[in-house]
Structure 1
């Protein structure tokens, strides 16, 4: 039984880190782009609705729906040869777009996303559950590959930026 629990934990941890590697940039995220040894090329930018960012020496770059590694690669390819011999590009998230929680919580609204955020922490950020809140009837509305889906959630469910969490009222 302990071996099974250990295997589940390892699988879960691996899945969690794989999800973090697959984070896709969206409107409202703020990213920082750094090119090692080129301080003039370091820039912070908030992703606008157009999804385009300006980067010196390159045309505007469409970044919505790309991973950080894909953005790094685009900038690397753009700078390679004409501008730099071997550019070392790094892209990181400075500020994530928010998630939203409404229904039977003390302070419904939008909150800053944090890495490895689970539903129990999201509820805590919203001030906790009200006295009338359901303890199990929680749903998350999320866009996955352009489609809006509704997910039944529990306290361990991972939250993503742009998620809309609904905490229903208990009938008992």
Structure 2
């Protein structure tokens, strides 16, 4: 496994987002203490888990987005998506960004600028400047919060956390994903699991 890169770990922007993430992280950790009760956790295959990631990225709280309004420097900048999923933009004010793709959000902003007579023919582009972090805990050497990178795999996520401990069960993880209503147990079966921004991953102890 690769060494932990300096500066790779970071704090999520905003204390509110940190508290929300921490609640999810410790709630998931509690599942590992439930013993046999963990057998009641729904299961998902790697294919099922990867489908949501491959279908395209949607913006959510904790992301930082870059809005570019061409030829309008004062309307261009980076904006943090808040806990409620909204952003505060110049002239337009507060709009909901969560659940939108970069393309649909750009179209929404352009429409509001045009309909509000702020810009005659606005050309807008939106990109994710910084993804929300992911969390990994349990049987890894350095559990915690880490910066997400595009197309990240579970193997890469574990590497960021310093690798598995000798006690780790490398064949299954419990995954809490923001688009799922409940955590799910994912059996790896030698397949590559994709990580999504905001994921909380629990590596359990193997029982021999």
RMSD: 2.2
Aligned to 2:154: 119
- Aligned equivalents of 1:59, 1:115: Cα separation in 2: 30
Q: Corresponding residue for 2:205?
A: 169
Kept in 1, the 8 Å contact 2:141–2:161? The answer is yes
Q: Is the 8 A contact 1:140 1:153 kept in 2?
A: no
**SS at structure 1 position matched to 2:178:** strand
Query: In structure 2, what is the equivalent of residue 157 of structure 1?
Result: 193
Q: Which has the higher strand share?
A: 1
Aligned mates of 1:147, 1:21 — CA distance in 2? 18
Secondary structure of the residue aligned to 2:177 is: strand
TM-score of the superposed pair, with normalisation by structure 2? 0.69
Alignment counterpart, residue 84 of structure 1, candidates 119, 129, 146: 119
CA separation in 1, counterparts of 2:123 and 2:55?
A: 19
Aligned residues of 2:53 and 2:196 also touching (Cα < 8 A): no
Once the two structures are overlaid, the 10-residue window that deviates more, 93-102 or 151-160, is 151-160
Query: What 5-or-longer segments of structure 2 have no aligned partner?
Result: 1-46
Q: Secondary structure at the match of 2:182?
A: strand
Q: Which residue of 1 aligns with 2:137?
A: 102
Kindly state the Cα deviation for residue 51 of structure 1 after the two structures are TM-superposed: 2.4
**8 Å contact 2:53–2:194 — kept in the other structure?**
no
Deviation at 1:67? 1.4
Runs ≥4 in structure 1, deviation > 6 angstroms? none
State TM-score, norm by structure 1.
0.82
Q: CA deviation at 1:32?
A: 0.8
The answer to whether the 8 Å contact 2:85/2:96 transfers is yes
The size of the alignment, in residue pairs, is 157
Deviation at 1:142, TM superposition (A): 1.4
Aligned-pair distance for 1:26? 1.3
What's the offset of the Cα at 1:20? 5.7
> What SS does structure 2 have at the residue aligned with 1:54?
strand
Partner residue of 2:67 out of 33, 39, 58: 33
CA distance in 2, matches of 1:137, 1:147: 20
Shift in Å at residue 21 of structure 1? Answer: 6.5
Instruction: Name stretches of at least 5 consecutive residues in structure 1 with no aligned partner.
Output: 1-11
Using the TM superposition, give the Cα deviation of residue 75 of structure 1 relative to its aligned residue in structure 2, in angstroms. 0.5
Q: Specify which structure has the bigger relative contact order, considering alpha-carbon pairs within 8 angstroms and separated by 6 or more residues.
A: 2
Structure 1, residues 110-130: CA drift from partner, whole Å, max 9, x if none? 111111011000000000001
Q: 1:19 to 1:156 in 2, by over 3 A?
A: same
